[in-house]
Structure 1
Amino acid sequence: MLLILLGVLLLHLIILILLIVSTAASAWSVGEGRNTDLWYSCLTSKDGYHCKPAIDEDWIQAVQALMILSVLFCFFSLIAFLFQLFKLVKGGRFFFTAIFQVFASVFVMCAAIIYTVMSPDDSAHTQFGYAYVLAWVAFPLTLISGLIYIILRKKD
């Protein structure tokens, strides 16, 4: 049982790191000396590296909010798991933790879908970066983790 709990905890920490990196990294869209993330659009030229704030549109603000919510819900889920690990009665399930983790999964999925649909269509010069891919990788892992918490029972 201890190995299962350590495995679930390790998976949760990996997911939290993936979400933090995908939210903060400057590589949601890359191409030809230009990196765009949720917060800044940076251009590399012979004069140096210049950054300006991201476009001020509703869809990018929605993606920003959803990614922040996914990180927060994943973190709160981790805290809830640790709390329930010590306070939950024998045979109880980690429903509260699972609900938070599934919410984090839904938020990161919605953010990635909005970014996919609404990102500027400059496909000849740009492509999706690693932070975007990390967000999509975090989505199924977070959902699987939430489902594991639903199935998991506390034993002595």
Structure 2
Amino acid sequence: MLLILLGVLILHLIVLILLIVSTAASAWSVNGEWSKELWYNCQTNSKGYHCGPSSNEDWIQAVQALMILSLLFCFFSLIAFVYQLFKLVKGGRFFFTAIFQILASLFVMCAAIIYTVRPENDSNAQFGYAYVLAWVAFPLCLISGLIYIVLRKKE
């Protein structure tokens, strides 16, 4: 039982790290000369590397909000798991933790979908590693939430 709990905790921490990196990283969309992220647009030219704030369009603000919500819900899910690990009655299930984790997965999925269908001006742009990490975090977060639903506390 201890190995299962340790495995679930490690999976949860991996998901949290993936969400932090994908939210803070600077490569959601890349081209040879520039990169776009949720917070800044950076460009390389003859004078060096320059960054400016991202656009104020509604779709990017929705992606920003959803990624922050996914981070918060994943973190609160981790706190709820640790709390329930010590306070939950024998035989109880981790429903509260599972709900938070599944909501986090839905938020990151919605953010990635909105970013996928965004209006794009440059046809040479490619999705960057932060975008891929967000899509990798989604199924891992969902699997983690489903494991919490099945998991029972035993003594």
TM range (shorter): over 0.9
- In structure 2, the partner of 1:90 is 90
- In structure 2, the partner of 1:117 is 117
- The amino acid across from 1:117 in the alignment is V
- In structure 2, the partner of 1:131 is 130
- In structure 1, the partner of 2:41 is 41
- Find the residue that maps to 1:141 and give its secondary structure: helix
Counterparts of 1:68 and 1:43 in 2: how far apart (Å)? 25
Counterparts of 1:55 and 1:99 in 2: how far apart (Å)? 33
- In structure 2, the partner of 1:52 is 52
- Find the residue that maps to 1:52 and give its secondary structure: strand
- In structure 2, the partner of 1:151 is 150
- In structure 1, the partner of 2:71 is 71
Superposed CA deviations along residues 68-108 of structure 1, whole A, max 9, x for unmatched, are 00000000000000000000000000000000000000000
Post-superposition shift, 1:67?
Answer: 0.1
Post-superposition shift, 1:122?
Answer: 2.1
Q: Assess, with a 3 A threshold, how the Cα gap between structure 1 residues 119 and 133 changes in structure 2: closer, same or farther.
A: farther
Post-superposition shift, 1:32?
Answer: 1.3
Counterparts of 1:153 and 1:62 in 2: how far apart (Å)? 36
Counterparts of 1:104 and 1:121 in 2: how far apart (Å)? 30
Counterparts of 2:17 and 2:33 in 1: how far apart (Å)? 27
- The amino acid across from 1:130 in the alignment is Y
Query: TM-score, structure 1 length as denominator?
Result: 0.98
- Find the residue that maps to 1:41 and give its secondary structure: strand
Post-superposition shift, 1:119?
Answer: 4.3
Post-superposition shift, 1:120?
Answer: 1.1
5+ residue gaps in structure 2?
A: none
The alignment yields a C-alpha RMSD, in angstroms, of 0.7
5+ residue gaps in structure 1?
A: none
Matched residues, number:
155
Runs of 4 or more, structure 1, over 3 Å off, are: none
Question: Percent identity at matched positions?
Answer: 79
Post-superposition shift, 1:47?
Answer: 0.5
